[in-house]
Amino acid sequence: MEHLKSLLAKLNDKTALIGIVGLGYVGLPLLLRYVEAGYRVLGLDIDPDKPARLHRGETYIKHIPAEAIAAARHGFEATTDFTRAAEADALILCVPTPLDDHREPDLSFVLDTTDSLVPYLRPGQVVSLESTTYPGTTDEELMPRVESTGLKVGRDIALVFSPEREDPGNPDFCTRTIPKVVGGVTPACLQAGMALYGQVIDRVVPVSSTRTAEMTKLLENIHRAVNIGLVNEMKMVADRMAIDIHEVIRAAATKPFGFVPYYPGPGLGGHCIPIDPFYLTWKAREYGLNTRFIELAGEVNSNMPHWVVGKVADALNDRRKSVKGSRILVLGIAYKKNIDDMRESPAVELMELLQAKGAEIAYSDPYLPRFPKMREHHFDLASVPVTAETIPTYDCILVATNHDAFDYRLIQKHAQLIVDSRGVYLDPLANVVKA
């Protein structure tokens, strides 16, 4: 236990070196926050471009300004050299946990990263996993790997799970102000986890185990997925009844208790909501349980791009046009407004579905000047300008992501047809069809 006592002292007096493994949407804000709080930070990433850009004071994430990186350069070093993990007193893993082709958990990033760190683990470290995963991952998968070194978790080294809660582009909350849930494999591990986050996060919330912390993150995201599925289903019912679901939501939201507004859209996007519920449905089967409620919500949400494409086809048909041969401009391709994050963006599926039906696809997104290289999707396209001259050249403008940067009044004034999947246009307009 002497090793962990020494670790606590270093964490509390800020002499500890904090290692951040994975410098993406979760890891980079965390790196900057630790530097801001007065810690020395070592950033590790397999992509050589990220350390190089960070050392030049450049950003690669829209909502994180280059000025913040430049201001923090005195307090961090970034590298692809994982042997340097031995120098760190804390190792915080911020790597992806996607689904595989069968919509089952893909822990390869977590496990490969852990395996690459194992040779450099030493007494007096704390390892924290922040990647969203199913309950049991930390103690079933990470702990045996850590203890394969001969180190004893809870005696020589601490192991915790603390789920990331980043919300890119959220103007009201930042890394420091979002409460942090922490669970440890042992009480000593929990103590180390509380010390690790206690001086950089305003409120740290301890829970009884890593499994509780893992389930907490899943509940948060499943709560959103199920409610979004409900409102998406309500949207389809309201549409058939010629009722504006956005007007209904605005009216319902005036109730000061018992109602939380959720908003429909063209599908789910981001690294959490479309993916995380399936981590629990997969794990639940091990216990002989079928999570029908969660799976139904997933089915509704995954069908929304097809619903929107159907609305596009109907709207063009009403104007004596077919999808095939129509020029369609997709407005916004990030998964939500005012960010440049493309992960699981429903806009990509919309583009693919429309292209498969013969449409000529273009897109406009001020934060993504070229369609990025993606593992499963690719369009050789660049963002087109939205002007009074270009708008009328398209048979349909599809609002897929409602960036504030778009001039919606200009678009409505000059567009032949707008299909609005985000509720941008509140009032009935002749050239606007709500999807």
CA nearest neighbour of 377 among 266, 272, 269: 269
Please give the pLDDT value at position 217. Answer: 97
Please give the pLDDT value at position 274. Answer: 82
- Would 219 be classed as within a structural domain? no
**Whether 131 and 243 share a structural domain:** no
The last residue of a domain, from among 144, 175, 208: 208
Instruction: Give pLDDT tens digits for 359-385.
Output: 999 999 999 999 988 767 789 999 999
* CA angle at 111 for the pair 345 and 196, rounded to the nearest 5°: 90
**Whether 293 and 236 share a structural domain:** yes
Position 64 confidence tier, pLDDT thresholds 50, 70, 90: very high
**Whether 84 and 185 share a structural domain:** yes
**Whether 62 and 26 share a structural domain:** yes
- Would 187 be classed as within a structural domain? yes
- Cβ distance 169 to 339 under 8 Å? yes
**Whether 185 and 235 share a structural domain:** no
Please give the pLDDT value at position 373. Answer: 82
The last residue of a domain, from among 174, 193, 208: 208
**Whether 359 and 259 share a structural domain:** yes
**Whether 175 and 256 share a structural domain:** no
Instruction: Give pLDDT tens digits for 147-161.
Output: 999 999 999 999 999
- Would 315 be classed as within a structural domain? yes
The last residue of a domain, from among 157, 176, 208: 208
Number of structural domains the chain divides into: 2
- Report whether pLDDT(271) > 80: no
- Would 225 be classed as within a structural domain? no
Domain that holds residue 341: 231-434
**Whether 28 and 111 share a structural domain:** yes
**Whether 164 and 66 share a structural domain:** yes
**Whether 33 and 145 share a structural domain:** yes
Position 100 confidence tier, pLDDT thresholds 50, 70, 90: confident
Please give the pLDDT value at position 401. Answer: 97
Position 169 confidence tier, pLDDT thresholds 50, 70, 90: confident
- Would 337 be classed as within a structural domain? yes
**Whether 340 and 201 share a structural domain:** no
**Whether 199 and 305 share a structural domain:** no
Active site residue 272: yes
- Report whether pLDDT(345) > 80: yes
- Would 216 be classed as within a structural domain? no
Element (DSSP H or E) covering residue 310: helix 292-318
Q: Mean pLDDT of all residues in the chain?
A: 95
Q: What is the mean pLDDT of residues 177-203?
A: 98
CATH number of the domain residue 175 falls in: 3.40.50.720
**CB neighbours of 50 closer than 8 A, spacing ≥ 6?**
23, 43, 60, 78
- Report whether pLDDT(70) > 80: yes
| pTM, entire model | 0.92
From 94, 174, 189, 272, active-site residue: 272
- Would 36 be classed as within a structural domain? yes
